[in-house]
Amino acid sequence: MALDFDAVKVGDELPERSNRLDRSQLVMYAGASGDFNPIHWNEEFARMVGLPGVISHGMFTMALVTRMLADWVGDVAPVRSVSVQFRKEVLPEETVVARGRVVEKDDASRTVTVELWAELTRDGEILKPIKNGRAVLTLP
């Protein structure tokens, strides 16, 4: 069932979505996207270029955030645009938590603007691999 425009209010928090990243997800995403950059699968290469090890594809992290939107709305079709800033790498075995909040609602166009971000905890510190994200959705 699709989310009803009239039920949404500015300030509403979207239900968060968590995903513990593992290497098999990186392999599957690489195959689906065609992005076989060795920083996503070769530990030695990733360290050689200054990374802490193999890292997730930024677009995979963005996909996790976008999936949270689709879960909230009940379908991906209402999503008109998504933009994010990639701010921190995500390592295998870390849990990414996608979050969002309604920041604008336009009655004339029946659009809702959602602020998006993702969080993870590393060494006791909360990091945001995705910040300053925005999505625009058109709701029935």
Number of structural domains, the chain? 1
Q: Is the pLDDT of residue 72 over 70?
A: yes
Q: Whole-model pTM? A: 0.90
Asked whether residue 116 is domain-assigned, the answer is yes
Instruction: Compute the mean pLDDT over every residue in the chain, rounded to the nearest whole number.
Output: 95
With bands split at pLDDT 50, 70 and 90, how would you rate the model's confidence at 1? low
Q: Could you report the per-residue pLDDT of 85-106, keeping only the tens digit for each? A: 999 999 999 999 999 999 999 9
Asked whether residue 67 is domain-assigned, the answer is yes
Per-residue confidence (pLDDT) for residue 99, from 0 to 100: 97
Q: Is the pLDDT of residue 44 over 70?
A: yes
Asked whether residue 38 is domain-assigned, the answer is no
Q: Is the pLDDT of residue 29 over 80?
A: yes
Percent of all residues in the chain with a pLDDT value above 70, rounded to a whole number: 99
Compute the average pLDDT of residues 99-114.
97
Q: How do strand 95-106 and strand 125-138 relate by DSSP bridges?
A: unpaired
Asked whether residue 97 is domain-assigned, the answer is yes
Backbone φ, ψ for residue 36 (5° rounding) = -105, 30
Q: Is the pLDDT of residue 77 over 90?
A: no
Domain that holds residue 85: 5-21+55-138
| Cα distances (angstroms) measured from residue 37 to each of 27, 47, 115, 116 | 11, 13, 30, 26
Compute the average pLDDT of residues 11-24.
96
Instruction: Please give the structure tokens belonging to residue 83.
Output: 């933009």
Asked whether residue 88 is domain-assigned, the answer is yes
With bands split at pLDDT 50, 70 and 90, how would you rate the model's confidence at 2? confident
Domain of residue 114, CATH code: 3.10.129.10
Sheet of 111-122, strand order: 17-20, 95-106, 111-122, 125-138, 79-86
